[in-house]
Structure 1
Amino acid sequence: MKAEPIASSASVVEISDQRAASLADIHLMRSLLIGIFIFMATGALYFGRAFFMPVILAFLLTLTLTPIVRFLRKRGIPEFVSATMLVLLSIFVFASAGYLLSGPIIDLMNNTSSIGQQLTERLAQFKQPLARMMDLSHQLEALTETAQEPGMQKVAVAPSGILSTAAGNLLEAGTSITIVFVLSLFLLASGTLFYEKIIQSFASLSEKKRALRVVYDVEREISHYLLTVAIINTGLGSVIGLGLWALGMPNPLVWGAAAAMLNFLPYVGALITIVLVAVIALISFDTISYALLAPAFVLLCDIIEGQFVTPMVVGRRLEINAVAIFIAIAFWSWLWGFVGALMAVPLLVVIKVFCDHFDGLSHVGNFLAAQQTTTVEDEVVADTQATNG
């Protein structure tokens, strides 16, 4: 009579073990599927960058200009008219900047060798500690030259190949830019049509309301962030350009534009700007002490912008931790080059804002945040304690 309870308890343990094993298999299968999806998505983004890069740029430009379109719509200007005006203005700004900056940038690229020689001469007094490293480099170069076979000849690229490659790259860039502005025009002019199509995919009214609230919250926060950061970077570039002009730096417009563009790369962009300005200042001014004023001024502007202006205007909630920023910049620069690096942080903010609006993804948003964020459960507990208190 006592064997039946023992058998039943053994069967219960066996069933629980089977359930645990099946749950573990399900979690393993889910993790494998997620890993396969991430791997395939990365491959698709890499090999399909000619399509995905202008499309994502168009969406980012649309989100940046959406608050202006919405503001003008409240003033009675139709969305199609305001979208056309903004896109044409953007084209004019980019074309004017390219025209004004093309000459100085080409001159800098052509004078790269002379700039390096002048910098070496200016830093001759600091060259002694590096003499051994330079000698080692020359020895390695000599060993490489002698290691070549006697009949081996160096391959020279024909000028026609260079021209054809440059023409192909120019055509590809022109096509991508056209796609960006045309798609942005249609997205801005469509108004809420895109959101309405998303809402129509849900069945119940409660799901429609929740989806509409999430979509509008995400769109509003991202649009505000992108537009605000674009304005801040433009102001930073203007201040740096005017300050370098007052110091007598050559081509201050180039360095102001570079500071504005590179500031979309936190930490890395500011460092690149400071180094470039320091190099040009060292070969442009007579004394090293005066030449150091230019990079010091750029550093001061970056510190004020990064520590005071942006946190005060944008807010701490949308700040991203430094580790995630460096990983994102490295990943997107590998994926899409310099353009991908510029898009890394805006895309990271998009992901963070999207994750913050869904409970299942809140841990991802918390990981991306620069500081500890409160979860939905924490807010519920806080509200309950406040009510009971």
Structure 2
Amino acid sequence: MKAEPTASGAGVTESPDPRAEARANVRLMRSLLIGIFILMVIFALYFARAFFMPVILAFLLALTLTPIVRFLRKHGVPDVLSATLLVLLSVVFLASAGYLLSGPVIDLINNTSSIGQQLTERLAQLKRPLERAMQIAQQLEGLTETSQEPGVQKVSFAQSGILSSAAGNILSAGTSITIVFVLSLFLLASGTMFYEKIIQSFASLSEKKRALRVVYDVEHEISHYLLTIAVINAGLGTVIGLGLWGLGMPNPQVWGAAAALLNFLPYVGALITLLLVTVIALISFDSISFALLAPAFVLLCDLVEGQFVTPMVVGRRLEINAVAVFIAIAFWSWLWGFVGALMAVPLLVVIKVFCDHFDGLSHVGNFLAAQHSAVVEEDPAEDTDKARA
């Protein structure tokens, strides 16, 4: 039978392919389910951050110390013994650093108002409008203080709230730190247990070999990266601390520790360290030209570390593009605050390495990677001429 023509006589109407529509609906439902799953994960990470934050920190710490455990295992040291020693050394180092830095940091926090006033006085000869703005702000603050009713009892209630909140925060921080170190100890002491569990999850020998190779490569690359970055940041903080001590900066150990810690935030951390050192140097030295030597030294150290040391030691393959870094820092700082910002780049590297080992996720790893070679666009006419030649 011939197909009936349409009213316009232009041809015949084709019925839609039901299989194509079914495939399109499946893709749409899959995309919707993936989006819902991602939103659920974000909500879970936000509302259950008291649980997920120390757990992820423990995994990152265990991955950082894994190369040392692996090295000691090759020399006959049991995993339990090496893991216990490394975790104890980490606890001692953290406690010692906190004790040594607590005094200078508390003094800086208590002297914040005087530091701001001294900085304003030093910059007054360069920027008169800034001084005028500070005077207006002080006048507004005085008007606000005089407008308060004298009979309102606010100080005692606020102080009680502050004390209870501080006590709760200290208890929560202590619990989280305990979870981090205890879980890290168990992860490091487990040895090859997780590899054995992964092998047992697959039936065929080829699948077991492929899964074991992928997991081992991911764990090896991530652990090597985290340990290397931790050592580089520690070295950067040591060099900056010694250099600022030689220049006569007050509390150089604080700025060295800040540089080492904040360097886990690419670009942003170096800028914060530079601004802090500049402010303290301006109020600590009489000559502005001499005071600028301290931030200049910090800037030089950051440039050498970022442009030469880290690319040479870590390699270019694990570098992340700047856009992804800023998005990750903004997202994790919104999710978990300052601790989340510090974990943003290590977690981004974990995601990139994981995606690079799976064909279906390779486009995500390629998007996160930094661009090292410039793409030169050629004229299509030139390509045609070359082909004809």
In the TM superposition, 1:118-197 aligns within 5 A as 118-130=118-130, 133-134=133-134, 155-156=154-155, 157-197=157-197
Contact persistence 1:236–1:259 (CA under 8 A): yes
Deviations 1:256-282 (A, max 9, x none): 000000000000000000000000000
Which residue matches 1:68? 68
Which residue matches 1:306? 306
C-alpha displacement of 1:2: 3.5
Structural RMSD (CA):
2.4
Contact persistence 2:120–2:130 (CA under 8 A): no
How many residues are matched? 368
Cα separation, 1, equivalents of 2:110 and 2:49: 30
Which residue matches 1:36? 36
Cα separation, 1, equivalents of 2:243 and 2:194: 44
Contact persistence 1:366–1:372 (CA under 8 A): no
After superposition, the Cα gap between the structure-2 partners of 1:283 and 1:219, relative to the gap in structure 1 and judged at 3 Å, is same
Deviations 1:197-251 (A, max 9, x none): 1222222221111110000000000000000000000000000000000000000
Deviations 1:331-359 (A, max 9, x none): 10111110000000000000000000000
Cα separation, 2, equivalents of 1:257 and 1:136: 36
Say whether residues 1:198 and 2:198 are aligned partners: yes
C-alpha displacement of 1:27: 1.8
Contact persistence 2:46–2:336 (CA under 8 A): yes
Structure 2: which amino acid aligns with 1:180?
V
Which TM-score applies when normalising by structure 2? Answer: 0.89
Which residue matches 1:346? 346
Which residue matches 1:383? none
Identity of aligned residues (%): 80
C-alpha displacement of 1:98: 0.4
After superposition, the Cα gap between the structure-2 partners of 1:254 and 1:143, relative to the gap in structure 1 and judged at 3 Å, is closer
Cα separation, 1, equivalents of 2:170 and 2:42: 26
Gaps of 5+ in 1: 374-389
Q: Which moved more, 1:133-142 or 1:257-266?
A: 133-142
**The residue matched to 2:125 in structure 1 has which SS?**
helix
Contact persistence 2:265–2:342 (CA under 8 A): yes
Contact persistence 1:104–1:251 (CA under 8 A): yes
Gaps of 5+ in 2: 374-389
More helix by share: 1
Cα separation, 2, equivalents of 1:2 and 1:351: 58
Contact persistence 2:320–2:370 (CA under 8 A): yes
Cα separation, 1, equivalents of 2:305 and 2:61: 23
C-alpha displacement of 1:159: 2.1
Contact persistence 2:122–2:282 (CA under 8 A): yes
After superposition, the Cα gap between the structure-2 partners of 1:363 and 1:109, relative to the gap in structure 1 and judged at 3 Å, is same
In the TM superposition, 1:236-251 aligns within 5 A as 236-251=236-251
Which TM-score applies when normalising by structure 1? Answer: 0.89
Cα separation, 1, equivalents of 2:185 and 2:177: 12
Which residue matches 1:385? none
Cα separation, 1, equivalents of 2:358 and 2:5: 46
